[in-house]
Structure 1
């Protein structure tokens, strides 16, 4: 680009051979930023991310690097962190390996951007936040669902006062993950082994914490019923193994202001909804149903008056009584959008609120969800401080 200053920023990307690390973070975020010519900054310069791939498999790393024209990759994390032209460390490894790698990166003076959960336990997540703060490095946690078009439209409705007083939130997330015997599983086998950091509560409650708090209100209490509906699965090598982690969770959360949220999460359910995740919000003035991309509303003035009569077939098309919320803007990939915000945070110091303390709040809710399930009771969710 003649006449335009171009800056490079080295990013150590650990875990890019996994599904999420490769598809969303490398392919659809970092490489997509490069393919668009870089990230335009407020001062007119263009920032070009330079990925250094890290993983455990030489063959997989070499294949990805060759496919996408990436020059640098290694199986040695210490070697990558020692490179003088790297400023950011990104982690998309299995949960059990994440905290130790992040500690190494903090000690090396790198800024940190990571998938969640940031650690296996709340205290470990808080330790990472303290280490990053004391080292003076910037830290961010992926909170991708905030950038989904459907939830951005939902947030627009909340901010605009569409609902009046919000009464309740009901979320449905999940799909059938094949057991791995007669059809290949869509998720890696470690997801179903508690000893490897697996489990849907650990995975999804981190998401539900920031979705509920950023769009609606703070989470005050949690109740949870977990389950391991599929007791045995088959791994990537064709070996049968016992599923030691929960594959479904049924949560009830009390939010500030008396809002009640119910969220079902399951890898053992078949989808009969328009999208893989949907939230219905009911308020005194109106209701909305939001998914990954769509958001539909029904205002108080347009609400029909259904009558319960089990002796007659339903005579109304209830779905047709809702209105579509328009896009009103172009929505880019949510992972890419948050990557761009974090890069600007590192280079220009722009605001980025999704830090390691935010990540620790997600870990806290997952840990409390597991405890509530085992104890069979409702638990308070205390405020977290460094």
Structure 2
């Protein structure tokens, strides 16, 4: 057995997502389990160096999790040949320039999404990585959630028959920050800082829809800034210049219609913060982050519209819970392990920077649709002779192989 140590520059891990999901629940968890065990018995052991602008935060984070390396000097970290992977979890507005530097330094790239603030810039990053010959990947964590994996199993089994439509509800009430502290950072609500729910969430919806149901062909979107005044982390009022809600309809290949509501200004009256309902000719399902309920055609009730009598049905009781037959690890950690195997063993990893650019493209087109108040088509994206518009839907069963 050989231990293959991999130096990883982790930039932006002092933020909420970077700390919790990528550092603690992914890299630290992988180290604590003894690394990533390969089929031949070798072990891939990540060795992170934490990078950021706040020396005190970095030092405290490193000491807490028994990490020996940290730095405020990104350039020096990129010059160190020991570090072969660059990871970025900074704010969106800072990401593209740092990724450019890392590609120029010959590092393999793994980063959060959106990969940039525009589709042109996202495509540029994909092209630069392609031309440099560096391996690259984008976080697409929701594909590895237990609820969506159960939904994927239903799709692969043919449970739905012909899929007709999908309804997605996402969101919760994010407090304004005056009488209760907001659950999200204030930059999320400032357009000039790269904020907005369309930029934030449509990158997710692109890979979810493409991978589960079919490639997005066109869309119509209406955004809104429902809460116009919020308070930042110091309690100072500011004008919310970015959208905090979006109401979209997507048309997928094969004619599937998707309705997706995304909102940070909605009070939750459903079973999870994200629910996806899929209706097909043979059956329907509703999944959340972890659970999934199904209703086959033979178990479908037969309601009749009659507002003059009390509703005789308890519709929620007529759904069957899917069993949890597998052990589901943290989705961020699972994808980190796949990317480490991709870098070290050259195993397949399909969620690259070009796939990330597709998410930015959907956000840009949604903003365009809102501005112009019309439907817009979603063109194919290509770089260097590599075409991604038709790649993912035909290999859904290979996610975790």
**Alignment TM class, shorter chain as reference:** over 0.9
Per the alignment, residue 389 of structure 2 pairs with: none
Listed as ranges, the matches of 1:1-386 within 5 Å are 4-386=1-383
Question: Which deviates more from structure 2 when the two are superposed, residues 303-312 or residues 173-182?
Answer: 303-312
User: Quick one: distance in 2 between partners of 1:46 and 1:313?
Assistant: 62
User: Quick one: distance in 2 between partners of 1:115 and 1:98?
Assistant: 9
Q: CA deviation at 1:100?
A: 0.2
SS of match in other structure, 1:305:
coil
SS of match in other structure, 2:7:
strand
User: Quick one: distance in 1 between partners of 2:307 and 2:88?
Assistant: 53
Q: CA RMSD in A?
A: 0.7
Q: CA deviation at 1:66?
A: 1.3
User: Quick one: distance in 2 between partners of 1:103 and 1:36?
Assistant: 33
SS of match in other structure, 1:225:
strand
Moved over 3 A (4+): none
Question: How many residue pairs get matched?
Answer: 383
TM-score (normalised: structure 2): 0.95
| 1:151-195 superposed Cα distances (whole Å, 9 cap, x missing partner) | 011011111111111100000000011111111111111100111
Gap regions ≥5 residues in structure 1: none
User: Quick one: distance in 1 between partners of 2:182 and 2:80?
Assistant: 37
| 1:64-113 superposed Cα distances (whole Å, 9 cap, x missing partner) | 11111111111111111122211100000000000000000001110000
Q: CA deviation at 1:314?
A: 1.8
Q: CA deviation at 1:237?
A: 1.4
SS of match in other structure, 2:278:
strand
SS of match in other structure, 1:66:
helix
Per the alignment, residue 398 of structure 2 pairs with: none
TM-score (normalised: structure 1): 0.98
SS of match in other structure, 2:265:
coil
User: Quick one: distance in 2 between partners of 1:255 and 1:291?
Assistant: 21
